[in-house]
Structure 1
Amino acid sequence: RDRAKGFVLLATSVFCDAVVPNVQQRLMAPGGPPGLPRKASDPPPEEDARGTAPGLTASQLMVNANAVGFLGLFATMAVSGSFDEILRATSSDPKLVVYLSSVGMSLSLAVLAYTNLIRECGPVIAVGTATLRKVVTVLLSYAIFPKQIETVHIVGGLLVLAGIILSTYGRR
């Protein structure tokens, strides 16, 4: 049962990793977000030299996406009761607020950099860069915090490497 749940979560994550950067690119594309309704009282969007309204900036996209995520997380935590646990933990150890804020700020900078990468280079380059970053993170994790390397880790790493090689040479 746990394996099936893990597989579903992994498949969902991979699907989102493929879809989200493409949606973000469309939201940041010239012409603005497609299908965005405008009220008559809204000022007309500023146009660029080609007469096209600009899309969202990376920071606008990040703020909007994170606001929606925050509201969803807040509602889930309030309903599940885990919000009370967090309040108790942070009041008993105020350093926890500093640590959580530091993690939040670091993640915000990372998301902003990633969103800018999507805008400047496109989703394919952004996903490839993120994948390589994750590989380096795993390697550093093994170097800094030594752990037992099992056969499944080596096979998984080789499969990722094979996927990158096939993707690179498949385009040529």
Structure 2
Amino acid sequence: MTDGQAEPIREGREPGEQALARSVGDHLMARDLAARSLGITLAEIRPGYARCVMTVRADMLNGHRTLHGGMSFALADTAFACACNARNRTTVAAGCDIVFPAAGRLGDTLIAEAVERHLAGRSGVYDVTITNQDGTVLALFRGRSRQIKGIIIPHEETASDD
């Protein structure tokens, strides 16, 4: 992080890397029943970066009639998962923190942008910022990842994409 701007460490500009990231993201989202039930979609992905979108529905509101924090967490966690798995190495959350500077409202379109901040060996750190359609920051999430054994998409399936 240089001038406070959110930039991924690796942008995945090679066509093969980008195609693989998109395939991995699509695969993860197709299998993520929780994200699908919340209407979360993957708008953009590349190695170390993902952007997911969700619209706040009535069944996502808490007793104050604002967005339930668990829904924000689920959106942030989904973007985090896509960003840290985009290189096709099975990676899980090792821990995370979230703060809520402002509340989401019914009908808001939420954008979660996950950015890789550090990757060394099997461990990574990712920041996810959730904003609404007006650019208001609603949540700040920091996730710590850990690569485990395995890949998301077998090499046979990715070989035809190259």
By percentage of residues, which structure has more helix? 1
Larger of the two Rg values belongs to structure: 1
TM-score by length of 1: 0.24
Q: What TM-score results when the alignment is normalised by the length of structure 2?
A: 0.25
